[in-house]
């Protein structure tokens, strides 16, 4: 969040503007060291550094490389983001007339495909070249919500002078990336741009909700036409089931546990793994190299020979996983979406050390997000799940969220007492 509840917006604007001026004039980069010690949030400062390193002009917005006319129309008509435009219009655009707000949809490279909303705001936005067909990637114009959201693959708010370009300092924006629901690949971003009010938490929540609805819409389209988004990368599902699956070209393939373990570990290590490294991650007693080669040979027949490399073993094609879907929701701070995507432990029957580590890290992150949210419905779902049934910390948080007059209060308290007895507390 750029502006937190209770912040003095005018004071924050002066502070950030001063920090930006110091930075572009060659001030000490260490002054932006981190949240709590700097007037600039780390996500913004890191983006400023990238923008400066790439030679972005802090005094203007470039206009090169635009698409326009027939070329833009042709590009937009065939782009996957066109499928979600009706959802975005219904949830956002239809309500922003005469509000001074703009709603933009970009592609994965940061090019603005559609810019709609308040007509006066659209006219004003021309001055900073925030127009359909323009390149608003971080590489091209520096720190901005849609461009930076795509660069870091998470929800981002940018307030006033947090923009790298001074031409954009009178604007604020909130944006989030949109992903292919099958592969996890970024398709583009949804952005709301306007005045300081756009940097408030509720606007970011609105953008997140719209992205969730848009990805659900894409999922429905894909059910009817699996190839609608082009040749989608395969997707590995390993959460909560003893029967892991691989979805490839619209076909659902049931995998052996070992093959699912290997694919997950390779997805987690895009740099690749030597045979001995993979063996240790699969079995503490270390599998021999012959066994590893045999397993990879069999896996190539399932996954495709052109998708797996050797020396080191690595994926040669993109592979989306349901684990990554949960992580993206957690990184956006959306505990509800993360819990919906979290269908259970990672490969629950696996005893491979590398998989056990991934399983525990994801479970711990889920628990932390739910405790942080304190939302009763989410805690109720978690404590009824395999991961949460014996999670005494979560049960205690759940109890704190319940009205003591509710019959559920005594039931939850009794459950905590049983857990305490079982754990010897």
CATH of the domain at 266: 1.10.10.10
Residue 2 in any domain: the answer is: no
Residue 317 in any domain: the answer is: yes
| Domain identity same for 201 and 274 | no
| Domain identity same for 19 and 138 | yes
| Domain identity same for 159 and 20 | yes
Report the side by side order of strands in the sheet with 112-117: 112-117, 102-107, 186-194, 172-179, 156-158
Closest to 141 in 3D by CA, of 132, 130, 133, 152? 130
Please count the residues of the chain.
425
Tell whether the model's pLDDT for residue 231 goes beyond 60: no
The domain that contains 178 carries what CATH number? 3.30.450.40
| Domain identity same for 43 and 68 | yes
pLDDT of residue 16: 92
Beta strands at 235-237 and 320-321: parallel, antiparallel or unpaired: parallel
Beta strands at 102-107 and 112-117: parallel, antiparallel or unpaired: antiparallel
- Total domain count for the chain? 3
Residue 271 in any domain: the answer is: yes
| Domain identity same for 378 and 354 | no
| Domain identity same for 198 and 242 | no
Tell whether the model's pLDDT for residue 249 goes beyond 70: no
- For the residues 243-263, what does the mean pLDDT come to? 87
Domain that holds residue 409: 374-425
pLDDT band of residue 33 (cuts 50, 70, 90) is very low
Residue written as token pair 């947090």: 162
Ranking 53-57, 222-226, 320-324, 340-344 by mean pLDDT, the lowest is 222-226
| d(C-alpha 81, C-alpha 135), whole Å | 16
Taking only the tens place, the pLDDT of each residue in 81-107 is: 999 999 999 999 887 777 899 999 999
pLDDT of residue 341: 84
pLDDT band of residue 172 (cuts 50, 70, 90) is very high
Tell me what percent of the residues of the chain surpass a pLDDT of 70: 93
Ranking 33-37, 109-113, 116-120, 255-259 by mean pLDDT, the lowest is 33-37
Residue 1 in any domain: the answer is: no
| Domain identity same for 77 and 218 | yes
- For the residues 69-76, what does the mean pLDDT come to? 85
pLDDT of residue 397: 94
Residue 3 in any domain: the answer is: no
Highest mean pLDDT, choosing among 236-245, 261-270, 314-323: 261-270
Which of 206, 224, 242 is where one domain is finished?
A: 224
């Amino acid at each position: 969040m750029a502006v937190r509840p209770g912040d003095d917006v005018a004071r924050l604007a002066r502070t950030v503007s001063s920090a930006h001026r110091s930075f572009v004039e060659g001030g000490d980069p260490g002054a932006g060291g981190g949240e709590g010690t700097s007037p600039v949030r780390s996500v913004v400062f890191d983006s400023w550094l990238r923008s400066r390193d790439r030679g972005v002009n802090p005094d203007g917005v470039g206009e090169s490389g635009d698409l326009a006319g027939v070329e833009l129309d042709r590009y937009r008509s065939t782009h996957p983001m066109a499928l979600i435009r009706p959802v975005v219009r219904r949830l956002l655009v239809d309500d922003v007339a005469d509000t001074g707000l703009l709603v933009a949809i970009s592609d994965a490279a940061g090019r603005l495909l559609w810019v709609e909303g308040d007509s006066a705001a659209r006219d004003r936005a021309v001055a900073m070249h925030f127009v359909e067909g323009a390149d608003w990637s971080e590489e091209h114009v520096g720190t901005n919500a849609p461009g930076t959201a795509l660069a870091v693959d998470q929800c981002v708010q940018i307030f006033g002078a947090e923009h790298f370009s001074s031409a954009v300092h009178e604007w604020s924006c909130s944006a989030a990336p949109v992903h292919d629901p099958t592969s996890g690949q970024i398709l583009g971003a949804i952005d709301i741009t306007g005045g300081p009010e756009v940097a408030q938490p509720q606007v970011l929540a609105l953008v997140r909700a719209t992205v969730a609805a848009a990805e659900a819409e894409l999922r429905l389209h894909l059910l009817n036409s699996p190839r609608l988004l082009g040749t989608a990368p395969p997707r590995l599902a390993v959460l909560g089931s003893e029967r892991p699956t691989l979805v490839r070209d619209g076909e659902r393939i049931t995998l052996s546990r070992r093959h699912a373990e290997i694919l997950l570990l390779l997805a987690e290590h895009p740099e690749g793994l030597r045979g001995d490294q993979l063996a240790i991650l699969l079995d503490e007693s270390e599998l021999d190299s012959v066994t590893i080669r045999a397993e990879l040979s069999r896996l190539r027949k399932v996954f495709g020979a052109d998708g797996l490399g050797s020396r080191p073993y690595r994926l040669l094609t993109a592979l989306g996983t349901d684990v990554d879907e949960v992580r993206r929701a957690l990184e956006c701070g959306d505990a509800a979406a993360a819990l919906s995507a979290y269908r259970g432990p990672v490969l629950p029957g696996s005893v491979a050390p590398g998989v056990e580590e991934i399983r525990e890290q994801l479970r711990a992150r889920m628990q932390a997000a739910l405790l942080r949210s304190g939302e009763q419905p989410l805690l109720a779902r978690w404590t009824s799940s395999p991961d949460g049934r014996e999670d005494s910390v979560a049960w205690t948080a759940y109890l704190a969220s319940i009205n003591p007059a509710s019959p559920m209060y005594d039931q939850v308290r009794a459950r905590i007492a049983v857990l305490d007895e079982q754990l010897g507390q």
